[in-house]
Amino acid sequence: MTFQRFFDSKLCATCRGRGFCGKSCRIYSKIKDFTPKTKTHFSGASPPEIFVGRFNYPNISCGILTPESCEDSESYAMPEIWHEKKFSIDTILTNRSKLVYGKFNSQVKKAKVEDRLLKTMQEVSMSYKSVSTEFFLKRPPAMKLEMHKNLPLIGNPAPLEHVRLEENPKIKPKVDYLVSDTQAKATTSIIELYKSQITNSNIIKILSAGLLGKKTQRRLVPTRWSITAVDDIVSKDLLKKIRYYPEISEVLLFHGYYVGNHYEILLLPEKFSFEVLEAYLPGSLWNQMSGVSLTQDHEGFNGRKYYADKVTGAYYTMRLALCEYLERIKRQAYCVVFREERAEYYAPLGVGILRELAREAFLKTPEKFNTIKEALEISQTRLKLPIEVFTDKSVLLKEFGLQTRLNKWF
């Protein structure tokens, strides 16, 4: 492979606007306000948002994101709002480009509670409303992008010298109570926060800031890991009951679409099992080559023992949305998910939008069928790829119906 072809095959997330492909960056060109900032001292309303990195773990960078203005900025950080208001990718990126990432270095296991920067970051993480923040930077922010598959774009990084909250953060009583409870395990606290209607975005930030768990076990958690941890912990808790529910009685099909991501969700009458197949179409963010790239992860009735390292975070967001639906209808099901990531999805927005897309799909009235074949034929009318691309790769569809059921003998 030639040097040029090597870089042409690289993902945008690897290049990060550095021109490896020799072309104008399609992400930079869409961000209208993404220009180098000149201020080192300003006040702005943090959405609220924090970020804890994972590179060089356990010696990591973390910090607070805030715009250079005191406008209402909650929509800059929450996938729940992006999906509810049907923001376009351009709108989301424009909003994200206004955020300055004031960062500092910290150690995961030895983070000092008395560190003022860390303490302020933790206070911001607990708030559910934007909070006015005063930034003192060591130097102006750089024109740089941080792109990750499971996270929305982060830009304008600058070393943070000092930060001060100009108002009291708005913290819900349940959050304040569980953060103060140094005897409760992190898993228990996450489940309690979820049951108290605290948004996933807020729980993720609180976990990342090292505010949950027993006192001696609290530590900073990289944001990427905390997203998956929250989705995984909550869905596993829901599955404790779901596995005892009766099975659905017919074939159900759900679908949904948002900013280049299309889902077809097939539920079959059988004990709980779960599979996600993701197809990255040519021109999409994670596939800059000419062919189709497909990944797959699955679990049986007893769950997974290892991380779903092929589909990664999107696997756990979808499983959470599925479990929420099954809990509502008090049933269990055999679930196979087809996802197409299309060329329209050209910039990373994080797996939060996929969680909200799946939740919306499960709120719709399902299409009902007598056979799997009929359901797949309807799915094909909405998919761009031949349905065989998914079915030939699916483990669960091949296994479905092969095991003899006890009711056959009665």
To which H or E segment does residue 406 belong? none
Sheet with 293-299, strands from edge to edge, namely 293-299, 273-280, 334-341, 261-268, 251-258, 367-369
Residue 359, C-beta contacts closer than 8 angstroms, at least 6 positions apart:
321, 324
Q: Which of 224, 125, 216 is CA-nearest to residue 176? A: 125
Q: Which of 123, 88, 318 is CA-nearest to residue 211? A: 123
Tens-binned pLDDT, residue by residue, of the chain (410 aa): 333 333 344 466 566 555 666 666 767 766 655 665 678 999 999 999 999 998 888 889 999 999 988 888 899 999 999 999 999 999 998 899 889 999 999 887 655 544 889 999 999 999 999 999 999 999 998 877 777 778 888 888 999 999 999 999 999 999 999 999 999 999 999 999 999 999 999 999 999 999 999 998 999 999 999 999 999 999 999 999 999 999 999 999 999 999 999 999 999 999 999 999 999 998 777 666 667 889 999 999 999 999 999 999 999 999 999 999 999 999 999 999 999 999 899 888 999 999 999 999 999 999 999 999 999 999 999 999 999 999 999 999 999 876 555 444 44
d(CA 348, CA 26): 12
Full-model pTM:
0.91
d(CA 308, CA 296): 9
Q: What are 392-407's pLDDT values in tens digits?
A: 999 999 998 765 554 4
To which H or E segment does residue 288 belong? none
**What's residue 407's pLDDT?**
45
DSSP state of 370: S
Question: Strand pairing partners for 263?
Answer: 256, 339
Q: What are 117-176's pLDDT values in tens digits?
A: 999 999 999 999 999 999 999 999 887 777 777 888 888 899 999 999 999 999 999 999
d(CA 141, CA 157): 5
**Domain extent listing, the chain:** 14-165, 173-242, 251-400
Environment class of residue 31 by beta-carbon count within 10 Å: exposed (0-12), middle (13-18) or buried (19+)? buried
Please name the residue ranges forming H helices in 290-383: 313-329, 352-363, 372-382
Q: What phi and psi values does residue 37 have, to the nearest 5 degrees?
A: -85, 150
